[in-house]
Structure formats: C-alpha cells, structure tokens
Amino acid sequence: MRGRWRGVKYDFDWSVLWSGESGGWLLQGILTTLEISALAWLLAVALGILSGAMRTVPFAPLRAIATFYVEFFRNVPILVWMFFWYFGVPPLLPHAIRDWLFNHGAEFWAGMFALGVYHGARMSEVIRSGIQSIPKTQFEASMAMGLTVWQAYWLVIVPVALRLIVPPATNESLNLLKNSSVALTISVAELTFQTRQIETYTAKAIEALTAGTLIYLVLCVSIAIIMARIERRFAIPGLIARVGAG
C-alpha cells in the first residue's frame, strides 16, 4: 500500500508487525506493561490506603508524615522519580544488595517502585476524599460501640470508602497504566519500548506506533469496562457514588 499526501510518499508495510521477531516483542511488551503496572498498582493501593487513612486520624504526627509523603511524591514528575530510584538510590545501597538487584532486573524494580510510590501518593488523595465524604457519625458510632481507632478504620471506614471511590480510583489506575510507558526511559522493555524497538529495526514508524497506540487503547478501554461492572456491583444503594478525585 502506498500513501501520497502533498507529495509526501510513505510505503506502508503492515507485515513488519508480525514478521521476524516483532510479534514476540509486542507480546513481551504487553506482558511487561501489565506486570509492572499490576505490581505497582498493588503497592500504590497499599500506600494509598495507609497514607489516605493516616491523613484523617486524630493524631497530628501521623497526619504530618502522611501529608509529607503525599505532597512531596505526587508533585514531582514521574520521570524524575524513575531516574531517582534507578540511578540515584542503588549506589547508596550496600554492595551485596546492589549486585543482587542488578542481576535481577534492577530497572524493572526501580520502575515498579517509582510508579507505585508516585501513584500511591495520588491514590492517597482519592482515598482521603472518600473517607472524608463518610459522615463523621459513622466513626463516632464505631467509637461508642467500643471499637479501637484501628478497628473503626479497618472494619467500618475504609471498606465503605473503598466502595465509594471506584470511579476516581479507576481513573487513577488507568493513569498508572499509561504512566508505565515512562519506564522506557530506564530501559524497561515494556510496550512503548518494544514499539520503539520495532521502529528501530524496521524503520516503519507509523506501523509500529499504530500497533502500540491501539494496544494501549484496548487495554484502557477493557479496564474501564471491567471497573464499570465492579462499580455497579459494589455501589452502596442510596449513596450516590460520585466522589471527586482530590
């Protein structure tokens, strides 16, 4: 196929996407993207719940630690965090740990950590707004029934908050998936990296980028559809589950 526009010639050759090693590279890329995103997501949710809850407890030092974490980590570009965790931190670690890391895909772990810590801070704001939208009387009632602060959060506040925040949390999870593409800068072989690799080997930029772009669109749309079902399943009857993302 040959396209012509204003005298610009470009020979399309879509077979570069499956001939040679390209197909395997794309598949590897998808798997790595999903893997790094899933692990980072778990870390982000754990950090988000912990720090989001900490920002609402009636104990100032805990609030201060959580506020520092959230305000510092979410306000710095993810790319800077990637460089920081990959280039900046390992030289400060003890020799044995550093050697182990570089023998076990340090770029993957640094990228995962950067994504998880950054999005944990952003997730934290989503979870905090969820917690703060729960009437204070819920907490007071839990206290009156003799629960400890920990129990009140773990058994009453957090479960309700998580059900309220499905839409903004979905949005944030999709941001995480998209931001995993930044990991190509520290040479994690994820989807964007593999797209670039196909482009480098075949000099077919449009085909390679089209493939990568479509795969991202499909991933994002499928996750959005799954989450919409989860949202319906877990919506609390009588509560309008629309909480603004911090």
Q: How far apart are CB 115 and other proteins at their closest, in Å?
A: 12
Alpha carbons 97 and 117: distance in angstroms, whole number: 20
192 binds other proteins (CB under 8 A): yes
Stretch that binds other proteins, among 34-42, 43-51, 53-61, 173-181 (CB under 8 A): 173-181
Q: Which stretch binds other proteins (CB under 8 A): 24-32, 73-81, 96-104, 126-134?
A: 73-81
Tell me how far apart the alpha carbons of residues 215 and 217 are, in angstroms, rounded to a whole number.
5
Indicate the SS3 state at residue 9. strand
Kindly tell me which residue out of 41, 69, 81, 113 binds other proteins, with binding defined by CB under 8 A.
Answer: 81
The binder of other proteins chosen from 32, 51, 129, 195 (CB under 8 A): 195
Tokens of 114: 């950067």
Q: What are phi and psi of 240, to 5 degrees?
A: -80, 110
Q: Minimum distance between the CB of residue 186 and other proteins, rounded to whole angstroms?
A: 11
**What is the separation of C-alpha 57 from the centre of its chain, rounded to a whole number of angstroms?**
26
> Do the Cβ atoms of 157 and 55 come closer than 8 Å?
no
Report the alpha-carbon distance of residue 20 to residue 62 in Å, rounded.
55
Name the minimum Å distance from CB 170 to other proteins: 12
* Torsion sign over Cα 86, 88, 89, 94: positive
Smallest distance, other proteins to C-beta of residue 83, A: 5
Exactly one of 98, 106, 178, 230 binds other proteins (CB under 8 A); that residue is 178
Distance CA 140, CA 183 (A): 44
Nearer to other proteins, 26 or 157 (CB): 26
Query: For binding to other proteins (CB under 8 A), which residues are involved?
Result: 5-8, 10, 71-72, 75-81, 83-84, 87-89, 91-92, 174, 178-182, 184-185, 192, 195-196, 199, 205-206, 209, 212-213, 216-217, 220-221
